[in-house]
């Protein structure tokens, strides 16, 4: 999946993957529906996309350009010093 479709930051992806894997494993061991819930978390952690976030228009990725735009500062070009 390309980064255009992703709507989760890397920390959230890692947490979802780790907890999702644990929930998936426990769900398999106790033969529970929790295995499916864990699978969904692992899937969203791997691909960085959450359909519920998409419906609610939530994007937890923050780039410097986004932060700058939200603060009202224009994007400044990088120039070399002394020219």
The predicted pLDDT at position 4 comes to: 74
Please determine, for residue 20, whether its predicted confidence score (pLDDT) is greater than 60: yes
The predicted pLDDT at position 76 comes to: 61
Dist. CA 14–CA 8, nearest whole Å: 10
Chain Cα centroid distance, residue 27:
24
Tokens of 6: 């992703």
Q: Where are the domains of the chain?
A: 10-59
Q: What is the pTM of this model?
A: 0.67
What pLDDT digit, counting tens, does each position of 24-49 carry? Answer: 999 999 999 999 999 999 999 999 99
27 or 61: whose pLDDT is higher? 27
Query: Is residue 28 a contact partner of residue 21, using CB atoms and an 8 Å limit?
Result: no
Dist. CA 48–CA 5, nearest whole Å: 8
Please determine, for residue 83, whether its predicted confidence score (pLDDT) is greater than 60: no
* CA nearest to 27, candidates 13, 15, 41, 14: 41
Q: How many helices (H) and strands (E) does the chain have?
A: 4, 0
């Amino acid at each position: 999946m390309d980064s255009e479709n992703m709507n989760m930051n890397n920390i959230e992806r890692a947490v979802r993957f780790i907890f999702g894997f644990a929930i998936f494993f426990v769900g398999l061991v106790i033969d529970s529906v929790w295995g499916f819930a864990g699978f969904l978390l692992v899937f969203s952690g791997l691909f960085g996309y959450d359909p519920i976030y998409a419906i609610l228009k939530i994007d937890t990725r923050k780039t410097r350009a986004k932060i700058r735009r939200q603060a009202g500062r224009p994007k400044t070009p990088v120039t070399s010093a002394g020219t």
